[in-house]
A and B are shown apart, each in its own frame.
Chain A
Amino acid sequence: VFAPRRNLATVRPVRVPWALILALGALLAFDQAVRRLPDHWCDSTVSIPARVAFVRQQLVPQAPHPRVVILGSSRSALNIAAGKVEIAAGLPQGSVLNLSVPGVAAYGIHTMFLAERPRILGARLVLYNVDEFFLTGLDSEFMLEEPLRTQLARPALDQKPRVLLDNLFPYRRRLPWVLTRAEVRLGLRPSLPSLGYRIVDGRLLRLGAEADPDHDVDHLLATIENYYEESRMVPRSAELLQVPGRAAREAGVRFAYVQIPNRPTHKRLVLERHGAGYRTHLARMEAVASAVGAPFYDWSEGFCRMGDDAFVDGVHATLAGAELLSRCVGEWLKTREELRAAR
């Protein structure tokens, strides 16, 4: 039965695999080299700093001294038109600045806050629109380019082979950015400004992404199915959410966390499938807000009568939908005491 001597006789002479050893050595050296690249070499032009820079360049000149600042992701970037808010609130032109950035989560908004801190803390009121996955979602598509992602994930390293590989070989996450930058320079890849965004009434408009009443709501729902799981909560995300709130309180600026309306069908399905998780999310946001002494307004219910036809997909508004929501926000601002002198 056992014949190792005969079986292995033909295998000899076994040679040292020098080519493999050299290749693995080169891999380690390459990884060390990429690890030492300066950050600015690795930021792609669709990375978070580039997105933040784009929004700043396009929108700040329209309201250099705002009274109201809105922070958030693509939802508030696309759904709230600052110009329409000003008209509805009876505020002078240039009073409302929407600094929301498409394709970001808590870390991206934090980047914007750091970049525009003086302007934001110079306003009377700051509204921070929160998405469900801001407290979670290390695997969500919005977190993939977040530089803090691997740091946020450290407590769960053993459960995440991809994160483990990212930490063992940092070139895994830096190389795509370098390649992207090269691609943009060669004209092979569009950067954010050429992706088709333009500004309408202080709101980002993604061209070709308007009304689609038949949009498949399940498609988006499938991407958020585990946003509410307890195991995915990341304390560091909550801390990032609280930074601007705490700074605003210290500067004496009114600050509120809000959650703007989604497509009614989308909201209904979320409640049907993840009702308990969604309610826990609201409770968590209440806790985050109260920790910095700020209110949390859930505008997703009864705040503004937006139908399915007001949305492109589950959460992003059409131009008409954005006008409607902006009017509702403007009406709400009319009631704010801190803006009375500005009107």
Chain B
Amino acid sequence: MLFNTWTFCAFFAVVFALYCLLDHRWQNRLLLGASVLFYGTWNWRFVFLLLATASFDYFVGREIAKAPGSPRSRRWLIGSVVVNLGVLGIFKYFNFFVENAQALGAAFGLSLPSAVLQVVLPVGISFYTFQSMAYTIDIYRGLLLPATSVWSFLLFVSFFPHLVAGPINRPQGLLNQCERERVMTWAGWRSGAFLFLVGLVKKVAIADQMAPIADAVFAHPRDYTGGQALLGVYAFSLQIYADFSGYTDMARGLARIMGFELNENFHQPYLSQSITEFWRRWHISLSSWLRDYLYIPLGGNRKGLSRTYANLIVTMLLGGLWHGASWTFVLWGGLHGLYLVAHKVLLDRRHAPPSALLPVRLLKVFFTFHLVSFTWIFFRADTLHQAFNVIRALRGRFPEGTGTWDPSWNVSVIALGLLALFLLDLPQYLGRSDSAVLTWPLFARAAALFVLVTLLVGTRNTRPEPFIYFQF
């Protein structure tokens, strides 16, 4: 059930109407039931997996809380981490490791037995596993008290707006909201609905319009000239941001309508002036999770320069692998790790403060955007071979340009997409609020809504496109 479908609109309308009628305790049960139904529409069998792992973590959380930091609670924590990563490993990485072990064995003349699992990947498993793990780890660290009710905890893990593609919420925020009585306000309804509309416009009017260009280039890179391949890569850069941040806006908007507040996940990442800044603005919930639960426990920057660089690379490699069991994601993460190390080396060697001149800042934004766009090639490609073919196409190795290319796919379409994204983000950037538009005078607000609704109606396709991050 995709957010950008009429089915979901009907589902939400029913859930929200009932939600308004019930008291807090029954609201949680209703939302849990709705979340199970929402998740079950993809594959009902995995509902049991979701509820089983979440229930296990609830139980472990209670056991750890009896003596946080003790050897006994440590054993419980290790058990929880092993179970969570084990489930993730079986469903997401088992085939990847077996296939690579076989390939490695074959390289040394060994024939390893074939053991490939024929299972589909449960939607959103990476998101809810990380969220659940944060709960037990934080209780162990003494940062959190265990949930008072299993219903609240199950809702915290499975809350349908964020269940399949995040943001990854910390228990200190969302779990508390599940346990406390929530307040719905007119301002919350208004800003939640507006945020949902903005997200929908990002998805339908930008991401879905960019998708055919990127799809064409990445499907048959050898059929496209250097210029066309470059447009394809730019198109994907815009598509993935509009798609993922659009989903997050919709999720946050839906939650806000019901009185919840989910984490911010993006903060105009393509305006970053360095790769370090990019990671403070892109997929904030994942990058902060990796920082707090992986990078800092590995030693962070407290154990010397070389260890800091190694920690950065390991964190980003695992961050890449989190996205999917493929060497393309590993390379994507590795590249970002190298970028971060390179930036840190530069920062450490520079003594003068960074230039505040606008042209210099714009140049940095331009440079950072292109560094990031280059890594998207590996993120988008199905195989390394395909990724390298796209790079070859970018270098003009296939000048014939025999691929199907719609004349409307040109620089102006990319520029329009970029401009639209910039304008959608600008009020938030200037007003420091995701619904700053709603504070504008009446006619300005009406004009903004007119543009959004006109774009939405004008660009809607027959078939709703799924969100890219659903596959993770």
Interface residues of A (CB under 8 A from B): 1-4, 6-8, 10-15, 17-20, 22-24, 26-27, 30, 46, 141, 160-162, 165, 169, 171-172, 175-176, 180, 183, 186, 188-190, 192, 195, 208-210, 212, 215-216, 219, 223, 312-313
Closest chain A residue, CB of each to CB of B458: A172
Interface residues of B (CB under 8 A from A): 20-23, 26, 183-186, 189-190, 219-220, 223, 225, 399-402, 404, 406-408, 410-412, 442-443, 445-450, 452-454, 457-458, 460-462
Q: Which residues of B contact A19 (CB under 8 A)?
A: 442, 445-446, 449
Q: Give the docked Cα–Cα distance between A144 and B411 (Å).
A: 21
Q: Give the docked Cα–Cα distance between A208 and B23 (Å).
A: 68
Q: Which residues of A contact B412 (CB under 8 A)?
A: 183, 186, 188-189
Q: Give the docked Cα–Cα distance between A183 and B408 (Å).
A: 10
Please determine whether A162 and B461 come into contact, CB atoms closer than 8 angstroms: yes
Interface centre among A27, A160, A192, A312 (most CB of B within 10 A): A27
Q: Give the docked Cα–Cα distance between A318 and B21 (Å).
A: 69
Q: Which residues of B contact A7 (CB under 8 A)?
A: 20-23, 184
Interface centre among B23, B190, B412, B453 (most CB of A within 10 A): B412
Interface centre among A8, A11, A313 (most CB of B within 10 A): A11
Q: Give the docked Cα–Cα distance between A249 and B28 (Å).
A: 75
- Can you show 16 pairs from A to B with CB atoms below 8 A apart? A2-B23, A6-B23, A11-B184, A19-B442, A23-B452, A26-B446, A27-B454, A30-B454, A183-B412, A189-B407, A190-B407, A208-B400, A209-B401, A212-B400, A219-B404, A223-B404
Please determine whether A27 and B453 come into contact, CB atoms closer than 8 angstroms: yes
Q: How far is the CB of A14 from chain B (nearest CB, A)?
A: 6
Q: Which residues of A contact B457 (CB under 8 A)?
A: 27, 165, 169, 172
Please determine whether A2 and B21 come into contact, CB atoms closer than 8 angstroms: yes
Closest chain B residue, CB of each to CB of A139: B462
Closest chain A residue, CB of each to CB of B182: A7
Closest 8 CB pairs of A and B: A23-B449, A22-B446, A188-B412, A19-B445, A162-B462, A3-B23, A23-B450, A26-B450
Q: How far is the CB of B333 from chain A (nearest CB, A)?
A: 31
Closest chain B residue, CB of each to CB of A103: B407
Please determine whether B454 and A160 come into contact, CB atoms closer than 8 angstroms: no
Please determine whether A161 and B462 come into contact, CB atoms closer than 8 angstroms: yes
Q: Which residues of B contact A313 (CB under 8 A)?
A: 402
Q: Give the docked Cα–Cα distance between A141 and B452 (Å).
A: 27
Q: Give the docked Cα–Cα distance between A210 and B412 (Å).
A: 27
Please determine whether B458 and A46 come into contact, CB atoms closer than 8 angstroms: no
Please determine whether A11 and B400 come into contact, CB atoms closer than 8 angstroms: no
Known: A24-B453, A180-B408. 10 other contacts (CB 8 A): A2-B21, A10-B184, A13-B186, A18-B442, A23-B448, A188-B412, A189-B410, A208-B401, A212-B400, A216-B220
Q: Give the docked Cα–Cα distance between A175 and B416 (Å).
A: 14
Q: Which residues of B contact A165 (CB under 8 A)?
A: 457, 460
Please determine whether B446 and A18 come into contact, CB atoms closer than 8 angstroms: yes
Please determine whether B186 and A14 come into contact, CB atoms closer than 8 angstroms: yes
Selected contact of A208 from candidates B184, B402, B411, CB within 8 Å = B402
Please determine whether B23 and A1 come into contact, CB atoms closer than 8 angstroms: yes
Please determine whether B407 and A46 come into contact, CB atoms closer than 8 angstroms: yes
Please determine whether B399 and A208 come into contact, CB atoms closer than 8 angstroms: yes
Please determine whether A23 and B446 come into contact, CB atoms closer than 8 angstroms: yes
Q: Give the docked Cα–Cα distance between A23 and B401 (Å).
A: 44
Closest chain B residue, CB of each to CB of A24: B453
Closest chain A residue, CB of each to CB of B452: A23
Selected contact of B22 from candidates A2, A30, A180, A215, CB within 8 Å = A2
Please determine whether A4 and B20 come into contact, CB atoms closer than 8 angstroms: yes
Q: Give the docked Cα–Cα distance between A238 and B389 (Å).
A: 43
Q: How far is the CB of A21 from chain B (nearest CB, A)?
A: 8
Q: Which residues of B contact A209 (CB under 8 A)?
A: 400-402
Closest chain A residue, CB of each to CB of B437: A19
Q: Which residues of B contact A20 (CB under 8 A)?
A: 446, 449
Q: Which residues of B contact A312 (CB under 8 A)?
A: 402
Q: Which residues of A contact B183 (CB under 8 A)?
A: 10
Q: Which residues of A contact B400 (CB under 8 A)?
A: 208-210, 212
Q: Which residues of B contact A190 (CB under 8 A)?
A: 407, 410
Q: Give the docked Cα–Cα distance between A312 and B447 (Å).
A: 49
Q: Give the docked Cα–Cα distance between A169 and B407 (Å).
A: 24
Please determine whether B460 and A23 come into contact, CB atoms closer than 8 angstroms: no
Q: How far is the CB of A307 from chain B (nearest CB, A)?
A: 18
Closest chain A residue, CB of each to CB of B398: A212
Please determine whether A1 and B26 come into contact, CB atoms closer than 8 angstroms: yes
Closest chain A residue, CB of each to CB of B183: A10
